[in-house]
Amino acid sequence: MPAFTPEERTEIVLSELEPLKAQLQDAGVECRSATDQRILTSPQYALAIPIIIRFLQEGGLSDRTSSAVAGLLTGKGAALKAAWPDIVALYKAAQDGTGPRVKGDTAIHSFGTKTMLANAVMRAFSAKRLPELLKLVQDTSQGETRIIIMSPLKPKRTDPEVAAVLERLRADPQMANELATWPK
Query: For a pLDDT cut of 90, what percent of the chain falls above it?
Result: 79
Secondary structure string (H, E, C) spanning 90-158: HHHHCCCCEECCCCCCCCCEECCHHHHHHHHHHHHCCHHHHHHHHHHHCCHHHHHHHHHHCHHHHHHCC
* Confidence at residue 128, expressed as pLDDT on a 0 to 100 scale: 96
Looking at residue 183, what is its pLDDT?
86
- Asked whether residue 119 falls in the same domain as residue 47, the answer is yes
Max CA distance (Å), the chain: 55
In terms of domains, do 135 and 153 share one? Answer: yes
At 97 the pLDDT is 77
Residues 110 and 138 both lie in one domain:
no
Domain that holds residue 136: 126-184
Q: What type of residue sits at position 113?
A: T
* pLDDT digit string, tens, across residues 67-117: 999 999 999 999 999 999 999 999 999 988 777 778 778 877 788 999 999
175 and 113 housed in the same domain: no
CA distance linking residue 117 with residue 149, whole number of Å: 9
Give yes or no: residues 65 and 116 share one domain. yes
Query: Is 133 found in the same domain as 103?
Result: no
Mean pLDDT, rounded, of the chain: 93
pLDDT mean over 17-29: 95
Q: Which of 124, 141, 159 is the last residue of a domain?
A: 124
**What is the structure's pLDDT at 111?**
84
* 43 in the same domain as 98: yes
Residue 17 pLDDT more than 70? Answer: yes
Indicate if 115 and 140 belong to the same structural domain: no
End residue of a domain, out of 124, 141, 157: 124
Query: Does 120 lie in the same domain as 132?
Result: no
Q: How far is CA 151 from the centre of its chain?
A: 14
Tell me: do 142 and 54 sit in the same domain: no
Q: How many structural domains compose the chain?
A: 2
Look at residues 73, 97, 124 and tell me which one is the last residue of a structural domain: 124
pLDDT at residue 16, as a whole number: 94
pTM reported for the whole predicted model = 0.92
Question: CA torsion 7→9→14→16, rounded to 10°?
Answer: 160
- Together in a domain, 182 and 113: no
Query: Are 136 and 113 contained in the same domain?
Result: no
